[in-house]
Amino acid sequence: MIKYYEKKHFYIAGVLALFMLAPILIVLIPIIIHGIMYDDRTVWYINVPYTVYFYYAIGWGVLGVALLLGYFYERYGVFITLSAACVTLLCIYLGSNEYKILGDNGVAWSGTSTKHKYEYHWEDVDKVLLALPKETNGKQKFEFYFKDGNYVEFERDEHFLDFYNKFIEAKNNYGFAYESIKRD
């Protein structure tokens, strides 16, 4: 029986498959993973920061480059691909640990650069500012300032409006200040 392919063709097929699946792997998978890890009945909003998408893009890009190198260096292809798969899993792990959450219990977030997870209840909120850009096409941000001096920003998007009434109810129940300001 004649073989019409070589082992190295599997590497190039992997590169092509990765390239075709890139939008799903970089955009949808982080949202799904964050939903699985952090969502429950008390959570109103899970914000997936842009750096998460960056980590995922780096991870999948490293795997794509490794598959391409496996094509050219077939002898070391398995080692290169497995090493890159470990780097990809590390990037996915780092990206999955960064989140911002609003819910019944308050505000919580964690960054990739810190292992510390911040959790504040609504009574810990000092004030919330809606920062409006001077340009009409700029992005609006909610800035949460806490009584201990810490703060976190949430970008106002179409999902933020879905739970706006719950946010106003929390403001009325816990009495923190809420105002809008113009920013550069």
Which tens digits make up the pLDDT trace of 72-114?
Answer: 988 898 999 999 999 999 999 999 999 999 999 999 999 776 6
**Residue 33 located in a structural domain:** yes
In a domain, 3, yes or no: no
Co-location of 87 and 169 in the same domain? no
Domain shared by 92 and 55, yes or no: yes
Among candidate residues 50, 69, 99, the one where a domain is terminated: 99
CATH assignment at residue 167: 3.30.720
Give residue 151's region: left, alpha or beta (phi > 0; psi -120 to 50): beta
Tell me, yes or no, whether 84 and 165 share the same domain.
Answer: no
**94 and 138 fall within a common domain:** no
pLDDT tens-digit readout, 24-63: 999 999 999 999 999 999 999 998 988 999 999 999 999 9
SS3 state at 105:
coil
- Please identify, among 71, 99, 127, the residue that sits at the C-terminal boundary of a domain: 99
Q: Does 41 share its domain with 82?
A: yes
Q: Is residue 54 part of a domain?
A: yes
Q: Kindly give, in sequence order, each residue whose CB lies less than 8 Å from that of residue 22, ignoring residues fewer than 6 positions away.
A: 60
| Counted domains in the chain | 2
Domain span at 16: 8-99
Residues 28 and 95 in one domain: yes
pLDDT digits (tens, 9 = 90+) for 119-177: 999 999 999 998 888 877 778 888 999 999 999 998 887 787 788 889 889 999 999 99
Residue 172 lies in a domain: yes
Of the three residues 99, 128, 150, the one that is the final residue of a domain is 99
% residues pLDDT > 70 (the chain): 96
Answer yes or no: do 90 and 170 share one domain. Answer: no
The verdict on residue 1 lying in a domain is: no
Structure tokens at 71: 């094509």
Q: Verify that 58 and 133 share a domain, yes or no.
A: no
Task: Indicate whether 81 belongs to any domain.
Answer: yes
Q: What is the mean pLDDT of the chain?
A: 89
Asked whether residue 125 falls in the same domain as residue 82, the answer is no
Strand 117-120 relative to strand 106-110: parallel, antiparallel, unpaired? antiparallel
Does 71 map to a domain? yes
Instruction: Say if residue 60 is exposed, middle or buried (CB neighbours under 10 Å; 0-12, 13-18, 19+).
Output: buried
Do 124 and 169 fall within a single domain?
yes
Higher local confidence (pLDDT), 22 or 184: 22
- Reported as a pLDDT band with limits 50, 70 and 90, residue 1 is low
Place of tokens 């999955």: 96
Asked whether residue 114 is domain-assigned, the answer is: no
> SS3 for 151?
strand
